[in-house]
Amino acid sequence: MKSFYKIIHTSSRLLWGDREKRILCESLWMKENGHQVAIIAPGGSPLFEQAKQNGLMVYPISFKTLARVGEYGRLKQIFSSEQPFVVNAHGRGDARLALKAAQTTGVPCRIMSRHNGERVKYTWPNKKIYKTQCHYVFTTSKDSTRHLKQTFSLSDMHVFSIPDGIAMPDIHEIGPNSTIKANQAAGRQKLANTFGLRTDARFIGIFGRIDTPEIRLLDKIAHQVCLKYPFHHLVIAAPSENRGNMAEKTNDRVHVLPLQQENSADFYKALDCCVHFPNPQHFYQGVPGEMINAMAWFCPVIGADVPGLRDILIENKTGRVFDPAQPGSLPEIIGWTLNHSLQVQALAQTARALVEKHYTMDAMGRDILRIYRLHQVKIDRQLLMTP
């Protein structure tokens, strides 16, 4: 018999980043599949407003230190009234209050979600969150899962990698042949018009953390690539917070995509390939959403050999890999990708199949529900064994 759950997510951040987008997308997927969902977040925050606009139940809680005593009592009231099966905390800022309140009020399934791969220190407060107050830990990459297992001695049944999911593009939008070069003309034309370029312009997408060193490197890459491929341009499509000083850019073959066009279908269809640069401050990240989307659109991908990206980018199987310590190899790898269409087509098809199997909204939702149901079975068995 199919079970439907009442789920409450908590978040303390005032940002609108990958974490908040994941919470909203997951909540909407659960709602569409018959489950009840509420979100507790600071009133007026982007997540709070987006959830409200999409018809989700919302509760305003600031999670500020000075308000902890009163808000802890408010959280207990909410959980006692709503009687959720799941409370899912999405950061240390909200977990300290939300998971404690959920534990006190007897919420059956308590989850700590870890959205980035920054190392978690083994401290008493963290130990309490990860080992006592939650039943499960969800991460977005295998590297984060390994790290948390080692740090807190967690079992395989305590921590799970559940990467962010995307809505897969319709195969018919890409083309009946499913070839890398199919149906790119419209996307190329729109991108060429955006930058005022000739209609025969071709494009290489640039994702990830693009700061001053990367901008200078891109200038050099553009120069080397364009010597052999004179119609190609590099297009930076990193989020605004990941863009450094673009005034450092000196090569007119390097362009910056307007923010409103990020992750659009037309953009991915316009690309001959794309390159992802990791954050040099920390390589411990989840699987980049831009790369998942690129693979879903059959766009050939090139990325650094770093945790997170390593989950999905396999050398000469789903794309090409470069050593982040030696990015000078990129012009050669880009050239190979542009010059070996048959091999690249096979890589792109394998990459899309991997995304379709493990990185869709449906795959993410099914994996989460499987854990909910296993936990429900565990609870039911315990009740049967109680004299």
Same domain, 125 and 216: no
Same domain, 36 and 129: yes
Backbone φ and ψ of 382, nearest 5°: -60, -40
User: CB pairs under 8 A, 24+ apart, for 122-125?
Assistant: 122/151, 122/152, 125/96
List the one residue out of 38, 41, 34, 36 whose CA is nearest residue 16: 41
What's residue 247's pLDDT?
A: 62
Q: Is residue 127 part of a domain?
A: yes
- pLDDT grade for 370, boundaries at 50, 70 and 90: very high
Indicate the DSSP class of residue 315. Answer: B
Whether residue 87 has pLDDT greater than 90 = yes
- pLDDT grade for 119, boundaries at 50, 70 and 90: confident
Same domain, 60 and 102: yes
- pLDDT grade for 276, boundaries at 50, 70 and 90: very high
CA angle 70, 72, 73 (to 5 degrees): 65
Which token pair is 352? 């899309």
Whether residue 332 has pLDDT greater than 80 = yes
Same domain, 102 and 114: yes
Same domain, 325 and 375: no
Residue 120 to residues 29, 268, 281, 353, 357, Cα–Cα distance (Å): 29, 35, 16, 33, 30
What's residue 118's pLDDT?
A: 80
Same domain, 59 and 73: yes
Whether residue 187 has pLDDT greater than 90 = no
The bridge status of strand 86-89 relative to strand 6-10 is: parallel
Q: Is residue 176 part of a domain?
A: yes
**CA–CA distance, 168 with 170 (Å, rounded to integer):** 6
Same domain, 132 and 81: yes
The half-sphere exposure of 89 on its side-chain side, counting CA atoms within 13 A, is 28
- pLDDT grade for 383, boundaries at 50, 70 and 90: confident
* pLDDT tens digits, one per residue of 334-364: 999 999 999 999 999 999 999 999 999 999 9
191 neighbors 267 (Cβ within 8 angstroms):
yes
- pLDDT grade for 178, boundaries at 50, 70 and 90: very low
What's residue 377's pLDDT?
A: 94
* Percent of the chain with pLDDT strictly greater than 90: 72
Residues 61-82: what's their mean pLDDT?
A: 95
Whether residue 115 has pLDDT greater than 70 = yes
Same domain, 246 and 304: yes
Q: Is residue 1 part of a domain?
A: no
Task: Encode burial over 145-166: b for 16+ CB neighbours within 10 A, e otherwise.
Answer: bebbbeebebeeebbbbbbbbb
Q: Is residue 290 part of a domain?
A: yes
Same domain, 108 and 189: no
Round the average pLDDT of the chain to a whole number and report it. Answer: 90
Backbone φ and ψ of 118, nearest 5°: -60, 140
User: The CATH number of the domain where 208 resides is what?
Assistant: 3.40.50.2000
Q: Is residue 198 part of a domain?
A: yes
Residue with the two structure tokens 């080397």? 224
What's residue 174's pLDDT?
A: 54
Same domain, 159 and 230: no
Cross-strand pairs, 110:
87
- pLDDT grade for 262, boundaries at 50, 70 and 90: low
What's residue 213's pLDDT?
A: 85
Which residue segment(s) compose the domain that 301 sits in? 171-358
* pLDDT tens digits, one per residue of 135-154: 999 999 999 999 999 999 99
- pLDDT grade for 261, boundaries at 50, 70 and 90: low
Say what the pTM is. 0.88
| Count of structural domains, the chain | 2
Q: Is residue 37 part of a domain?
A: yes
What's residue 241's pLDDT?
A: 62
* pLDDT tens digits, one per residue of 192-245: 999 999 999 999 999 988 888 888 899 999 999 999 999 999 999 877 666 666
Same domain, 194 and 341: yes
Q: Is residue 153 part of a domain?
A: yes
Same domain, 122 and 189: no
CA angle 82, 86, 89 (to 5 degrees): 105
